[in-house]
Structure 1
Amino acid sequence: MTLLSITPLDAGAIPGDDEIISAAETLLESVTTWKQGKKYHSGTVQTYSRAKGPDDGAPWHARLSVHKPEEATLDAMWEKLGKNKAVNEKEFIHDINKVALVKEISPTQQIWTLYYTFSPPIISPRTFTVVQITRYTAATESSPRQGIIVSLPVDLSGQPDLAKMEEKGTRGRYASVERLLELPDGTTEWRMATSSTPGGSIPSFFVEKSLDGKIADDVPHFMNWFHSLLKEDN
């Protein structure tokens, strides 16, 4: 079984950061070799996809965008995506109704539960519980600054005290890996890949056909929210 998949990890046996981050970096580097999909938002967001493999629970979808410093710096983006990610996502992903920190395993590894509600008649509420792992790396002579965020599904059934923090709803699962990379010209590349299942009886083709557009939309949703915060500060 591959480490990066929608197969949930046991909450009591989550691998260490190094193993998870290494797998994430390998997957992220492969994204541009996947099938190239549509460009969205005036060509600023490129999408990719990879068919379900023997070790995958579902296909993978990815997006790539590049942002000038005047739009958002790496540090500013990391502050909102690499810290309290679930809390901040609730502010710009409107389907997220509630989030809760289930357990802080370490400063770089926390378990979160996210409760999604959708407008009828699409689907009933979904609960996603994930462990999120983050790593920020300073620039060196051989590599630029970068931040990586990994979210992997977690099974809390073996720990009743933690499981009671999950909202009631159909259980969905997703895995995602993201990288913010500072390029030589000072811009920031935002690369993200995800594999998911909403659970329940929704046909997989229904989800897959809309996923590229949905993950592409997260880029302007984030940027609009981020810039609204800057206006409030001013």
Structure 2
Amino acid sequence: MSDEFELTVTPLKVSEIPSEDAILKAGRAILESTSSWKEGKTYHHNVKTLSRGKGPKDGANWHCRVSKHTKDDATFEEFWGKLGENKAENEKEFIHVIKKVTLVKKLSETQSIWTLYYTFPPPVSPRVFTVLQTTLLEPDPHRTGLVISIPIDLSDDPELAKLEEHGVKGRYTSVERLSESEDGTVEWHMATSSTPGGSIPTFVTERSMPGQIAQDVPHFLKWLKSTRQAQG
């Protein structure tokens, strides 16, 4: 496939997955573009949000959040250990609408396909999101970690498709970057585009997106603190 791959909510079949380099390049391009996005509210004192309307190749609008954290919040090792490794399983612990995650296929040490099962209060039906997650940890000059998720359609692989839960298929793509500064401060930068599927009006999901992605930050930090305490 061409190295001009772009991140969208349009799902790829397993046979269409581009190279890791193409995925990483597309992820970096999205994060770099956020500097020109429209600024939104700041939540929880330090979680800034931004947004961008959908372009001609996008299936949905884009939303972004940026937060900075001292070692009192979490070290780079703690962030990467929970978000760069076993991300889906860890998300289930602090994003409470995720009820089940399943590893569909491990493609390499840095790529794996996961399916995530979300439940919501009635009348919203359960949603299933299946994604390929690609990770990269760069040690120099300061540690930077990337986690990129792109939507995957398993319909051309019946054996893998059996691992998906039943529910309305939603789609999301996201890029997360963890960047460590000289003083140990970590910047958590995330951009995402998503569609819940089904009959939920677009304006409803768009209106709530900034607050939803922002609240993942305090939820993560609260959960991380509880794991620290459990470890003594």
Judge same fold: TM > 0.5, yes or no: yes
| Other-structure match for 1:168 | 166
> Could you list the per-position Cα deviations for residues 95-143 of structure 1 after superposition, in whole angstroms to 9, with x for gaps in the alignment?
001100000011100000000001123x100000000000000023xxx
Secondary structure of residue in 2 paired with 1:26: helix
| Other-structure match for 1:91 | 93
1:24 alignment partner, one of 27, 36, 43: 27
| Other-structure match for 1:101 | 103
> Could you list the per-position Cα deviations for residues 28-68 of structure 1 after superposition, in whole angstroms to 9, with x for gaps in the alignment?
12212100000001x21000000011010000000000000
* Further displaced range: 187-196 or 5-14: 5-14
1:14 alignment partner, one of 12, 17, 32: 17
Q: Which amino acid aligns with 1:34?
A: W
| Other-structure match for 1:112 | 114
Secondary structure of residue in 1 paired with 2:219: helix
1:38 and 2:36 matched: no
- Residues 5, 22 of structure 2: 8 Å contact kept: no
Following the alignment from structure 1 to structure 2, what is the Cα–Cα distance between the partners of residues 184 and 53?
Answer: 36
Q: Which amino acid aligns with 1:22?
A: K
- Residues 2, 56 of structure 1: 8 Å contact kept: no
> Could you list the per-position Cα deviations for residues 144-171 of structure 1 after superposition, in whole angstroms to 9, with x for gaps in the alignment?
2100000000010000000010001000
Alignment of 1:197-208 (within 5 A): 197-208=195-206
* TM-score in terms of structure 2 length: 0.96
Q: Which amino acid aligns with 2:174?
A: S
- Residues 5, 23 of structure 2: 8 Å contact kept: no
| Other-structure match for 1:156 | 154
Following the alignment from structure 2 to structure 1, what is the Cα–Cα distance between the partners of residues 103 and 15?
Answer: 16
- Residues 112, 130 of structure 1: 8 Å contact kept: yes
Unaligned runs of 5+ in 2: none
Secondary structure of residue in 1 paired with 2:15: coil
| Other-structure match for 1:145 | 143
Following the alignment from structure 1 to structure 2, what is the Cα–Cα distance between the partners of residues 145 and 31?
Answer: 21
Q: Which amino acid aligns with 1:98?
A: K
* TM-score in terms of structure 1 length: 0.96
Q: Which amino acid aligns with 2:133?
A: Q
Following the alignment from structure 1 to structure 2, what is the Cα–Cα distance between the partners of residues 156 and 173?
Answer: 13
Aligned-residue identity in percent? 56
| Other-structure match for 2:70 | 68
Unaligned runs of 5+ in 1: none
1:195 and 2:180 matched: no
Q: Which amino acid aligns with 2:12?
A: L
Moved over 6 A (4+): none
